[in-house]
Amino acid sequence: MNSLTRITRGIGVAFKDGRVKGILAFTIGMILWASVFYHFVEGWSWLDSIYFSVVTISTVGFGDFSPETAAGKIFTMIYIIVGLGVFVTAATTVADTILSQDDKKADK
């Protein structure tokens, strides 16, 4: 089976896994929570707020936006510390579920 097919099948299986659903829901919840904060505290548009939340939690950090208020800066520091752990856990859980599909096939 080619790699693209294995990855596609693995992603399908991952999104049916309860662990994956839970951690992805938590990750999306954090992004939405942060987006609401940035929208109201920093006065950014919804798109800019969501964009900044995703870029920040994924550690990409393009630098095109940055909080201007003290509350925004403090929130962002906490969001990075907590969000990084959540994001890495989500990515690891999805990858582990996808890779474990190959292990299950090998055992058969």
Domain ranges for the chain: 20-98
**Residues 14-53 pLDDT 10s:** 888 888 889 889 999 999 999 999 999 999 999 999 999 9
Residue 59, token pair as written in the block: 């550690």
Amino acid identity of 28?
I
> Can you say whether residue 2 is alpha, beta or left, with left for phi > 0 and alpha for psi between -120 and 50 degrees?
beta
What pTM does this model have? 0.79
Residue 104 above 80 pLDDT? no
In CATH terms, the fold of domain 20-98 is Helix Hairpins (1.10.287)
